[in-house]
Amino acid sequence: MASSTPASGIELGGGLRPPSDASPQDGLRGRSPRSDAAPSGETPIRSSTLWRDGARRLLRNRLAVAGGSVIVLLCLIAIFADVLAPLPYTKTNFDRLNEAPSRDYPLGTDQLGRDLLSRMIHGARVSLIVGLGAQVIVVLFGVPIGALSGYLGGRVDLFLTRFVDVMYAFPRLLFVILVMSMLGAGLWNIFIAIGLTGWVGIARQTRAQVLAIKEKEFVDGARALGAGFGRLLTRHILPNALSPIVVAVTFGIPEAIFTEAALSFIGVGINPPTPSWGQMVGEGQQYIRSYWHLCVFPSIAIAVTMLSFTFFGDGVRDALDPKLK
């Protein structure tokens, strides 16, 4: 009687048995043996996340990349302004007042003989500090108020919502001017004025996101496992509401820069002799027919900065929109 050795994993009776390297639990779990291992010689597939997909879509947006590149350049100019500026921004030369662009002064001089290029380089620092610093205050005020309003609901939500509506009723720029007239000109006062008037928009967006997310199943599951109020907000709800907050911040930065420029233009912004683009436009607009360079170059700097942040903000908004996957 001839006998043969059965192949690995096959019984002579026609039934199948698992290979020797498989565990009995594999069949019970409904998956094939070693199904989670990557084939030999192949790169494992990375899991896709909202932020990774958003970064990929953002890099494909040419306008957003161009705007981001200009923003990075402006940040470098602001950081190294003391090194890049050819002259101190307070140094005067009364022999060369209101001089047109030349080899010695590439952007010309102002009415006090100060180098316009040096003042614009230092003005970039002021504009970016105002834009970023004001948004920090806006986030610190708006996100907690919106989160508490959306999560607690009831009378708290009613009170905070009505308060936000009242704040929305004031014209923002006029309200900022009123606050600045009370506090006086200065960089820190600009932070306070813009922060106190700019948080209402981000508060509304945060409230809307919290209202939608707090009804999700994973929040109910965390609550059933004993997660408290603070943990639910900080670990489960707010991290999933970051996308519109990030977009709001990117659009809020150019708005704060323009507000600072408007305040400095009318004389209630940055204190002289600290240079500000809006202040330079305000000082040079009366000489625009005779000395055009005094306000044209700062105006171009404001326009390019706002356009760059707008392009970058549009790209971030589109990149983080799950409907555009």
pLDDT, one tens digit per residue, over 115-160 is 999 999 999 998 889 888 888 999 999 999 998 988 888 888 899 8
The answer to pTM > 0.85 is no
Q: How far is the C-alpha of 63 from the C-alpha of 215, rounded, in Å?
A: 37
Domains present along the chain, CATH in parentheses:
70-324 (1.10.3720.10)
Handedness of CA 231, 237, 243, 248 (dihedral sign): negative
Cα gap 134→253, rounded to integer Å:
8
DSSP letter (8 states) at residue 318: H
Please state the separation of Cα 315 from the chain's center in Å. 11
pLDDT, tens digit, for every residue of 232-270? Answer: 887 888 888 888 888 888 888 888 888 888 888 888 888
Please name every residue paired with 16 in a beta bridge, in sequence order, or none if there are none: 10
Look up tokens 């999560």; give the residue.
Answer: 151
Rounded CA-CA distance 325/201 in Å is 26
Contact 277, 301 (CB under 8 A): yes
Question: Residue 320 corresponds to which tokens in the numbers above?
Answer: 């983080």
| Residue whose structure tokens are 């609550």 | 223
Q: What is the mean pLDDT of the chain?
A: 80
- Asked if 164 and 224 count as a contact pair (C-beta separation under 8 A), the reply is no
